[in-house]
Amino acid sequence: MTCRLRDKRIFVTGAATGIGAAIARACVEQNAAVCLADIDLAGAQRLADTLADAGHEVIAVECDIAERASVEAAMSEARRALGPLTTLINNAGQNVFHEPLTMPDEAWRQCMTIDLEGAWHCSRAVLPDFLAQGGGVIVNIASTHAFSIIKGCFPYPVAKHGLIGLTRALGIEYAAQGVRVNAIAPGYIATPAVDAHWKRFDDPAAALAQVETLLPPGRLGRPEEVAMTAVFLASDEAPFINASCITIDGGRSAVYHD
């Protein structure tokens, strides 16, 4: 077992599936103690049981990031089980895509609450711990939607732009107290949510193939490829990286046009 995250106690939201689950696995493999937080407690618990059976220190907690009280209760449970938290990985989110003028008001509230305010709820709950300890790390899982727009995806890019703003603002605000706040912007990653997206098309295989032709490597990214960047940012190997965003999209955002 490697030990890049020895003595780290990490709270991962949206940890039951997809990128969150890959981050949880990568963190425990680097010797961190990890709390798998998810609104789907049963799913988080299944993964926690698997990781615990392999000898890792993990717990699962129910957490609805849209509710501040739920976040605070989940973090309290994590502290009791693992000790003071050193790291927060804000991964939980939800795709909310509409045409702006036909979008229901509730869709706007849902998107902002889950994709932006949820990260703030979690950050606000853990920052006092970090300040008392003299340091800590927050990693926000943003999206290439934070700087590139696809028609029909409103208001998701608005929330993700806001998440980059939150990353930069908190990173600068608390840098002198030893807190680092960074973001990761994944592009097309092969997650259950993305798989479900293809199934909405009449020919899912053709829809996937069309997108793959747009990506310089000719394939979607893998959750594990995002997870290892999260490990790097959470580790002591990145002490001077702060208020920054690392893009993981195979180079797609560097392409001028097709």
Tokens of 36: 């798998």
Tokens of 89: 């990985």
**Which residue out of 156, 174, 188, 256 is catalytically annotated?**
156
203's CB contacts (< 8 A; 6+ apart) are: none
CA–CA separation, 159 and 258 (whole Å): 27
DSSP annotation string for the chain = ---TTTT-EEEEES-SSHHHHHHHHHHHHTT-EEEEEES-HHHHHHHHHHHHHTT--EEEEE--TT-HHHHHHHHHHHHHHH-S--EEEE------EE-GGG--HHHHHHHHIIIIIHHHHHHHHHHHHHHHHT-EEEEEE--GGGT---TT-EEHHHHHHHHHHHHHHHHHHTGGGTEEEEEEEE-SB--HHHHHHHTTSSSHHHHHHHHHHHSTTSS-B-HHHHHHHHHHHHSTT-TT--S-EEEESTTGGG----
CA–CA separation, 133 and 86 (whole Å): 9
CA–CA separation, 126 and 120 (whole Å): 10
Q: Is residue 256 annotated as part of the catalytic site, yes or no?
A: no
Active site residues: 156
